[in-house]
Amino acid sequence: MSEDAPTSTATSERSAGLPAQSPPVDPAVTHATAGKTAAPRLSWWSGDGGEGAKRNLGLIGVLVALVVIGIATRPDLYSDSSWVWGNFLTILKLASVVGVVTVGMTFVIIGGGIDLSVGAIIAIAGVWSTTVATQNFGAGGMIFTALVVGLSVGLINGLLISYGKLVPFIATLAMLVAARGLAAEISNKQTQVSDNDFINGIAANSLLGIPLLVYILAAVVIGGWVLLNRTTFGRRTVAVGGNPEAARLAGINVKRHTVLLYALSGLCCGIAAIMLTSQATSAQAAMANLYELDAIAAAIIGGTLLSGGRGTIVGSLLGVLIFSTITNLFAINGLSTEAQNMVKGGIIVAAVLIQQVQFGSLGKFLRRNRATTA
Amino acid sequence: MTQHSRRRLLFGGAAIGAGVLLAGCTSNEESSNEAQINTNSGGNANAEPGQAVTIGFSAPAADHGWLAAITTNAQAQAKAYSDVTFNMVEAGADAAAQRAALSTLISQKPTVIVMLPHDGKELNAAGLEAMQAGIPVVNLDRAFPDDKAYRTQILGDNYGMGVSAANFIIAQMKAKGVSAPIIGEIAGMDELELTQERSRGFSETLAQAGFRVANRRAARFTADSGQQEATGLFQAVQKLDAVWNHDDDQGIGVMAAINQANRKEFIMVGGAGSKKAMEDIQADNTPLKATVTYSPSMASSAVSLARLIGQNRGMSDLVELQVPKSIVLASETITKENASNYLKLGF
């Protein structure tokens, strides 16, 4: 717990993508923190510190564009300021469940893995926490159950991957199938209605005009940001994802760390299960359908590198917000889900394409092209 | 070191404790509904035990309430007959898996097969194969395009559901004196033909009264998708007069969204006829005022018909000596007035 001291926090700020911030880089500190990974993995750490900020500004641009499209297509709704505020909160509520899942997913992907089982973990945690027996324990029992079930399933994923040496894709794919099967078994394939007023109230109630779900999302995002950018755990995650062999040589227990990452993802799914159960006032084995794809897509368009070693919580959050804003845009215009899915797919491709274009090298490429054609 | 091991012990103990506690939390005793079966108490001649019949049954793996009720009903109805042996095969997750399960079933040579196909078109060949092997097929709910692929079909009326829902809304609007109502629709899975049929019946009937659907969202028959789509609908349309939600199971989520958005200005019609929806209609303190049936009791009837076919008997109220080729259930409208009659058919 002590080989990297928390003195280098200033440099890590860039990975959160705060715009207009370029703290001076202390090479000694950087070197000490990254250990032997410093030389090959310097880029995420100090080389292109401004890149995350630029990317996030681009995502904010996309969000603004979506809102402008909304204003242009439904001026009648957008002229009502109370509707605009209510709609903003609705978008945040819509984003809250996937947002919480995406925070866990971002950690897993930065750590060099992938978790395809998040939707299934939500289903099993949601179903397990709404059985008649669990509901008899009240809200505390339901929340405890959802969190412990999510955490445990995540732990199993992590153990299979670290110590069973399964490829993450296969291990979590197997978990996706198995967890939904168990959820169907427990629920006896029925929709289980939650009769608990406290649980149902999480989605229905607000504090100071802001829905409780939004507070939960904010808490998880801030917690995730601090964990990634201000703790040894976060720095180890980046190191493990960037170059696991170097991380191991630097003294990081890569296997244990990988287990913890999947457990963290599972825990996030447990939290999400409570939120989704509360929204739907019920749980069933088919709930949270395809949330794994939503979370992965949001993390990727948020700038998380699918091969690991790079990613930001703020970027992932923006990715989630873009998707929920699109969903909202299609709903208020009464357009079909098919069209919406096509646009979503297009946006994922476009976002990744844009990220691949490095503007510096693009300029170089153009110059060279001009030189050859001339 | 001792501290380390003590911590391990503590964590280990907590984990085992939580595990034991949670394992006890999977019980679901109270939530099981009673199956809807015909117990033949009326002195019907067909109730007398006859020739022994083996009924093979195949339906998609149930992932929501209606399909679960289909399987439960079929099993319970078969159990009510002393002369029926029930052989159920799990049909798996898609049409290909069901096709494989069916060829296993056909090779076991049951007297009759009752099948709820994933998709009537995709399983048409399996129906033909069984019929050619000399096993009569009773198609449940999703019609085969080819007449030779089934001996009897018993279907729900998807188009009729839409018609009934629209008629109820038209009558209510006329009674309230609303001439141009704003109507919302929350459909089920859009890729299923039955959803298209329901929506077609709804919009065509509304059009006859000069009404139209202002905003239509498609959910996925699950409560969480119902909640999401309903929230989107409420965001898009600030004042609604009526909403039709295709499925009462996803309706749990729609009702949650109504509560969360605090919208009470409209009337809502449900679909399928779950027990919870009927109770809400009876209580009359939510926008849900009616539901149009699409009852899973058709599975019980399908087993009864399969037994009669296997025993070469007809339906005793009809003159014909054989079971008819096709039965389409009427979609009934359940309101506060008649909900008590239907409660026993709710799932």
Neighboring chain A residues of B68 at a CB cutoff of 8 Å: 188-190
Q: Are residues B125 and B207 in the same domain?
A: no
What was the pLDDT predicted at A56?
Answer: 81
Neighboring chain A residues of B67 at a CB cutoff of 8 Å: 189
Number of domains forming the structure of chain B: 2
Nearest residue to B328 (alpha-carbon basis) of B307, B291, B298: B298
Range of the domain at B150: 50-156+296-313
Q: Are residues B103 and B171 in the same domain?
A: no
Neighboring chain B residues of A283 at a CB cutoff of 8 Å: 223
Neighboring chain B residues of A93 at a CB cutoff of 8 Å: 231
Q: Are residues B165 and B192 in the same domain?
A: yes
Q: Mind listing the pLDDT tens digit for each residue in A39-48? A: 444 433 333 4
Arithmetic mean of pLDDT, B259-273: 91
Nearest residue to B250 (alpha-carbon basis) of B279, B221, B270, B278: B221
Q: Are residues B242 and B309 in the same domain?
A: no
How close B137 comes to chain A (CA, Å)? 26
Q: Are residues B125 and B181 in the same domain?
A: no
Query: Is residue B38 domain-resident?
Result: no
The burial of B88, by beta-carbon neighbours within 10 Å (0-12 exposed, 13-18 middle, 19 or more buried), is given as: middle
What was the pLDDT predicted at A372?
Answer: 59
Out of A128, A133, A287, closest to residue B224 by CB: A287
Enter the tokens of residue B312.
């070469």
Q: CB distance B29–A132 less than 8 Å?
A: yes
Q: Which residue of A has its CA nearest to B218?
A: A337
Q: Are residues B281 and B171 in the same domain?
A: yes
Question: For residue A38, what are the CA distances in angstroms to A235, A250, A304, A335?
Answer: 12, 10, 20, 50
A194, A256, A282, A287: which to substitute to probe chain B, counting the most B Cβ within 10 Å? A282
* Global pTM value: 0.80
Q: Are residues B198 and B266 in the same domain?
A: yes
Report which of residues B47 and A304 the model is more confident about. Answer: A304
CATH number of the structural domain A52-353: 1.10.3470.10
Neighboring chain B residues of A284 at a CB cutoff of 8 Å: 63-64, 222-223, 249
Distant-in-sequence, close-in-space partners of A306: CB < 8 Å, separation ≥ 6: A109, A114, A300
Nearest residue to A103 (alpha-carbon basis) of A356, A259, A370, A320: A320
Model confidence at B290, pLDDT cuts 50, 70, 90, reads very high
Q: Mind listing the pLDDT tens digit for each residue in A225-267? A: 999 999 999 999 999 999 999 999 999 999 999 999 999 999 9
Query: Is residue B345 domain-resident?
Result: no
Q: CB distance A94–B31 less than 8 Å?
A: no
CATH at residue B213: 3.40.50.2300
A74, A90, A284: which to substitute to probe chain B, counting the most B Cβ within 10 Å? A284
Mean pLDDT per block of 10 residues along chain A (374 residues) reads 40 41 42 42 41 77 89 87 89 94 95 94 93 86 93 94 93 94 86 88 89 95 94 93 91 93 96 94 89 92 88 92 90 82 84 65 63 56
Nearest residue to B26 (alpha-carbon basis) of A281, A156, A187: A187
Q: Are residues B253 and B263 in the same domain?
A: yes
Q: Which residue of A has its CA nearest to B29?
A: A132
Q: Are residues B183 and B275 in the same domain?
A: yes
Out of A128, A132, A282, closest to residue B223 by CB: A282
Q: Are residues B69 and B129 in the same domain?
A: yes
Domain final position from B293, B327, B342: B293
Q: Are residues B143 and B168 in the same domain?
A: no
| Model ipTM value | 0.78
